[in-house]
Amino acid sequence: MKTTEINYTECLSHLKGNKLFKHLNEDAMVSLLGCFNYKKWKKSTAFFHADGIANNFFIILSGRLKSYHIDLNKDREYTVSLLGKNDVTDVLSLLDGAEHDINFEALDDIEVLCTTNIKMRAWMEIHPEIYKSFMPYMANRMRVLEASLTDNVLADIPTRLARFFMANTDENKKLININDLSHDELANLIGSTRAVVNRHIQHFKEAGIIEVERKHTYIKNFQLLSQRVYESNYY
Amino acid sequence: MKTTEINYTECLSHLKGNKLFKHLNEDAMVSLLGCFNYKKWKKSTAFFHADGIANNFFIILSGRLKSYHIDLNKDREYTVSLLGKNDVTDVLSLLDGAEHDINFEALDDIEVLCTTNIKMRAWMEIHPEIYKSFMPYMANRMRVLEASLTDNVLADIPTRLARFFMANTDENKKLININDLSHDELANLIGSTRAVVNRHIQHFKEAGIIEVERKHTYIKNFQLLSQRVYESNYY
DNA sequence: CAGTAAGTGCTACCTAAGTAGCATATGGTT
DNA sequence: AACCATATGCTACTTAGGTAGCACTTACTG
């Protein structure tokens, strides 16, 4: 690993805190780190599918990275997932070798460990115990995808918005991770548009559920929010 | 394995034709079969999440099984995936042990090999090489989920319908696997309702793209269909 | 500190999708 | 043959969500 900007032990401790890799023994850990380069990207750096980015494999150390699709006809974007610390990408092209046409954009300054799918696959061949630890990670990602899918089909936008806020609260009932996003980004995340999301945010404000400042959202009444979430349900 | 209704070698050949299990050696194959029971279910048999069905693990030998969510408030259903021969379920609860609230219904008379998640997990512990072969299967399932998700957010219903037909054609440009579904089931699959899907089916008929009989859909002009599909695109 | 880009709030309008209801057709069952 | 559940086709209507446009505000940048 190139250690120009971050030291080796720091990276090691990152991996040891990552569910996918924490179970590895010291030797495997060292050889894994040998495959990666440490990189930083500025906020708003974008990677398009066409750039061949999907043939690389990243472990996110800090910052948020969104994966998204654009509709060229209409002027719309959909954020498929919001990746953060301890997430990896792109799992799909890594695991089945096929192309994955999706784009990425850094929502913050981010730090990643970077390698190619080819190198990563070679390492996995030698350390097959890694496959098992990928299982719950993939299962969790699938759960999120499936929940979003069902939501987007069956739930209206205020419901999706409420659920999205709810899903991003911590134990103190405060909004985390998405509290500094613009209404535009929120819209991309729940599959709608800025104007519509803004409309419903006004309703939530009137109802006393949330408070809004420029690029900041706060939950004002958690009780009301969870009420709004559980009004509509499916099984 | 209980071999009351199907013989052992028949099951073995099923497993050898299944991408998930074909790579196993003879011993592993035999011990795997030892975990399962052979079962048949009649068409329309339904399993609800509440029944604890999700703690079982199935390999589908023949027939179609849909996994779906119902919205109790509105009167709607969404078919998350249509599983068939060589598919397994439920991967999610198997791999991370958490509840997966989803329902199942047999669209045909179906045959399955059936075991509990607990037994299957125990077997996997002893045969960890299986984890690797699960990878591309899961990756593929994730791709399908992600594509549906993006479609449901960004594409309108005629586009989704056209894509859905397109995705279910064989090398002879004939409709397979979904050609005998009612408009109601089609609607569930693309995230809409019977009346709306029927509306667009009329348009497709007028345009000469498809032909429809009671519970049968045929592609009349594949060229026109693929044109309709590629009109709208995203990346 | 002036200029500019980005974010927000809101009005007015348009349209695809959903809903309700009914007529007709089909195929299987008694 | 008569019956009945299911499937389909179609009309009329409602509505949530999307679109366009603009005013105002905030924060950054040269």
| Per-residue confidence (pLDDT) for residue A235, from 0 to 100 | 76
Task: Judge: B141–A142 Cβ closer than 8 Å, yes or no.
Answer: yes
pLDDT of A55 reads: 87
Using the CB atom, is residue B183 less than 7 Å from strand D?
yes
Mean pLDDT on B186-215: 97
Which tokens is B135 given? 């990878």
Mean pLDDT, residues B87-99 taken together: 92
A14-68 pLDDT tens trace: 999 999 999 999 999 999 999 999 999 999 999 887 677 778 999 999 999 999 9
Strand C proximity list, CB < 7 Å: A 182-184, 194-195, 198-199, 201-202, 212, 214-215; B 74-76, 156-158, 191-193, 195-196, 200, 213-214
Mean pLDDT of A211-230: 94
Per DSSP, helices labelled H in chain A are 8-16, 26-35, 91-96, 117-126, 129-154, 157-167, 183-190, 194-206, 222-231
Q: Which residue's alpha carbon is at the shortest distance from the C1' of C8?
A: A214
Q: What percent of chain B has pLDDT over 90?
A: 82
What per-residue confidence (pLDDT) applies to A211?
96
Q: To 10 degrees, the CA torsion angle through A4, A7, A11, A16?
A: 170
Q: Read off φ and ψ for residue A129, nearest 5 degrees.
A: -65, -20
> Is residue B150 within 8 angstroms of chain A, CB to CB?
yes
First to last CA, chain A: 47
Q: Is B140 on the interface with A (CB under 8 A)?
A: yes
**Partners of residue A145 in chain B, C-beta under 8 Å:** 142, 145-146, 149
Read off the pLDDT of each residue in B143-150 and give the average, rounded to a whole number. Answer: 97
Quick one: what percent of chain A has pLDDT higher than 90?
Answer: 83
Q: Is the peptide bond before A184 cis (omega within 30 degrees of 0)?
A: no
Of B109, B61, B69, B70, nearest to B89 by C-alpha is: B61
A131 and B134 in contact by Cβ < 8 A? Answer: yes
Residue A3 has what pLDDT?
A: 47
For residue A208, give both structure tokens: 């006393």
Nucleotide with smallest C1' distance to residue B213 CA: D8
Nearest-neighbour CA in chain B from A192: distance (Å): 8
Could you tell me the two tokens for B217? 């859909």
pLDDT of residue B5: 59
Q: What's the pLDDT at B82?
A: 97
Q: Does A125 touch chain B (CB under 8 A)?
A: no
Q: What is the pLDDT of residues B24-74, one digit of tens each?
A: 999 999 999 999 999 999 999 998 876 777 789 999 999 999 999 999 888
The pLDDT assigned to B1 comes to 55
As a whole number, mean pLDDT of residues B143-158 equals 97
Q: Strand D: which residues 75-114 of B lie within 7 A (CB)? A: none
Asked if B214 has any chain A CB less than 8 Å from its own CB, the reply is no
**Model pTM score:** 0.94
DSSP calls for B189-212: HHTS-HHHHHHHHHHHHHTTSEEE
Could you tell me the pLDDT band of residue B18, with boundaries at 50, 70 and 90? very high
Dist. CA B223–CA A148, nearest whole Å: 33
Per-residue H/E/C for B9-59: HHHHHHHHCCCCCCCCCHHHHHHHHHHCEEEEECCCCEECHHHCHHHEEEE
Please write the tens of the pLDDT for every residue from A132-190.
999 999 999 999 999 999 999 999 999 999 999 999 999 999 999 999 999 999 999 99
Distance from CA of B26 to the nearest CA of A (A): 21
Q: Are residues A78 and B154, on separate chains, in Cβ contact within 8 Å?
A: yes
Alpha-carbon distance of B61 to B21, in angstroms, equals 13
pLDDT tens for residues B111-131? 999 999 999 999 999 999 999
Binned at pLDDT 50, 70 and 90, residue B88 comes out as very high
CA of B112 to C1' of C25 (A): 36
Whether the CB-CB separation of A147 and B99 falls below 8 Å is answered with: no
Q: Count the Cβ atoms, other than its own, within 10 Å of residue A44.
A: 10
Strand C nucleotides with an atom less than 7 Å from a protein beta carbon: 6-12, 16-21, 26-27
